[in-house]
């Protein structure tokens, strides 16, 4: 009788243990819904970087970019803020200039100069051009000698007519410039305009005063290539010279030009030549009215 009671008791324990194991197994298979304060591991956490004052994180570019003022937008190809609509799309300005038919023509006509171009140091600027009285985009390709000195600069200026963009290409020779102890330059700058007979010389003294400037026959430093397929009028030496003369005769700014050279090397002397060439290209070599 005692043996039968022990068997019944053991059976009850076995049944209870079986129920406990079943409950534990069922609970272990359940997927609990996280509570309001819980976060699942697969929840997307946006990367937000502290960029510092004046900058914010751009999720598309995945980098810190400056906060642009109203009416301006950040342009990745230029690395700065530009007016709305002023950022080129479909490739950056440097690549567009480098792969253009105009630059390839220059490169093939002047292989010794092209071989010294440092494309990694290329840059794009948008500066106010006094002669044009508007912003003008310029693309700079520095010419670096084996010594590390910058002997010149290839400058491209995009000009668009009838939805077709051509480039004015300037070669600026810096070898007659002298750098003083403060890091400023003075002396003579010379520049050729590719595919034309226009060349430019400007001289300013150690006080950064413009001594003389003139459009002279050229080219003197580069070789031209006959452009039989050009769809626009290349600037003439006469038009460029007349535009520069008209500019200085009406602006009363030769002293300001010297100040500009002091603040930003060649921004006025060479900038005036570039602006005059752009004016003539846009207006079919027609004079100012």
171 and 72 assigned to the same domain: no
- Residue 271, SS3 per DSSP: helix
Nearest to 152 by CA among 62, 270, 49: 270
86-121 residue pLDDT tens: 665 445 899 999 988 889 889 989 999 999 999 988
What pTM value is reported for the model? 0.66
120-166 residue pLDDT tens: 889 998 888 889 988 899 999 999 999 888 889 999 999 987 778 88
Tokens linked to 31: 């997927």
Contacts of 98 (CB under 8 A, 6+ apart): 119, 122, 141
CB 93 within 8 A of CB 126: no
Backbone angles phi, psi at 8, to 5 degrees: -65, -40
- Confirm whether 25 is domain-assigned: no
Q: How confident is the model at residue 22 (pLDDT cuts 50, 70, 90)?
A: very low
Work out the number of other CB atoms within 10 angstroms of the CB of residue 121.
Answer: 11
pLDDT at 35: 46
- Hey, which bits of the chain come out as E strands? 55-58, 63-66, 72-75, 80-83, 123-129, 134-144, 150-161, 164-173, 177-179, 185-193, 198-204, 210-217
Q: How many domains does the chain have?
A: 2
CB 278 within 8 A of CB 168: yes
Give the separation between CA 208 and CA 210, rounded to whole angstroms: 6
Q: Give the end-to-end CA distance of the chain in Å, rounded to a whole number.
A: 131
- Confirm whether 29 is domain-assigned: no
219-244 residue pLDDT tens: 999 998 755 555 567 899 999 999 99
Which position has the higher pLDDT, 84 or 200? 200
Which position has the higher pLDDT, 286 or 182? 286
103 and 76 assigned to the same domain: no
Q: How confident is the model at residue 37 (pLDDT cuts 50, 70, 90)?
A: very low
Looking at residue 233, what DSSP letter applies?
A: P
pLDDT at 61: 54
User: Mean pLDDT across the stretch 186-194?
Assistant: 90
101 and 133 assigned to the same domain: yes
Count CA atoms closer than 13 A to 191's CA, side-chain side: 27
Helices first, then strands: H and E counts in the chain: 7, 12
Lowest mean pLDDT among 4-8, 99-103, 214-218: 4-8
pLDDT at 88: 53
- Confirm whether 71 is domain-assigned: yes
User: Mean pLDDT across the stretch 29-33?
Assistant: 45
Q: How confident is the model at residue 47 (pLDDT cuts 50, 70, 90)?
A: very low
Q: In terms of residue numbers, what domain contains 56?
A: 47-87
132 and 221 assigned to the same domain: yes
- Confirm whether 278 is domain-assigned: yes
66-82 residue pLDDT tens: 888 888 877 765 677 88
Residue 32 reports pLDDT greater than 60: no
Looking at residue 117, what DSSP letter applies?
A: B
Mean pLDDT of the chain: 76
pLDDT at 204: 81
pLDDT at 86: 66
56 and 130 assigned to the same domain: no
User: Mean pLDDT across the stretch 262-276?
Assistant: 76
Tokens linked to 5: 């009671």
115 and 203 assigned to the same domain: yes
3-state helix, strand, coil in the chain (%, to 5): 30, 30, 40
Which residue in the block uniquely carries the two structure tokens 């700058």? 189
141 and 249 assigned to the same domain: yes
Which residue in the block uniquely carries the two structure tokens 């051009």? 129
Residue 287 reports pLDDT greater than 90: no
Give buried/exposed letters for 185-208 (b at 16+ CB in 10 A, else e). Answer: bbebbbbbbbbbebbbbbbbeeeb
């Amino acid at each position: 009788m005692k043996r039968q009671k022990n068997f019944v008791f053991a059976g009850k324990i076995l049944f209870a243990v079986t129920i406990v194991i079943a409950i534990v197994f069922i609970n272990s298979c359940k997927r609990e819904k996280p509570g309001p304060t819980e976060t699942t591991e697969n929840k997307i956490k946006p990367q937000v970087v502290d960029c510092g004052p004046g900058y914010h994180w751009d999720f598309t570019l995945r980098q810190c970019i400056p906060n642009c003022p109203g009416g301006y937008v950040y342009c990745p190809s230029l690395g700065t803020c530009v007016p709305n609509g002023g950022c080129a799309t479909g490739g950056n300005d440097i690549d567009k200039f480098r792969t253009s038919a105009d630059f390839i023509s220059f490169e093939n006509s002047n292989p010794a100069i092209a071989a010294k171009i440092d494309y990694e140091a290329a840059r794009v600027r948008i500066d106010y051009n006094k002669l044009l009285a508007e912003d003008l985009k310029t693309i700079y390709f520095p010419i670096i000698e084996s010594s590390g000195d910058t002997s010149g600069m290839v400058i491209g200026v995009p000009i668009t007519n009838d939805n077709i963009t051509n480039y004015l290409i300037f070669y600026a020779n810096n070898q007659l410039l002298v750098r003083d102890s403060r890091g400023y330059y003075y002396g003579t700058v010379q520049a050729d305009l590719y595919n034309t007979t226009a060349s430019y010389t400007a001289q300013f003294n150690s006080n950064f005063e413009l001594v003389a400037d003139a459009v002279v026959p050229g080219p003197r430093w580069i070789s031209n290539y006959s452009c039989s397929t050009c769809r626009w009028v290349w600037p003439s030496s006469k038009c460029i010279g007349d535009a520069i003369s008209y500019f200085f005769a009406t602006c009363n700014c030769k002293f300001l030009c010297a100040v500009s050279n002091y603040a930003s090397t060649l921004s006025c002397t060479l900038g005036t030549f570039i602006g005059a060439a752009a004016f003539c290209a846009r207006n079919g070599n027609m004079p100012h009215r």
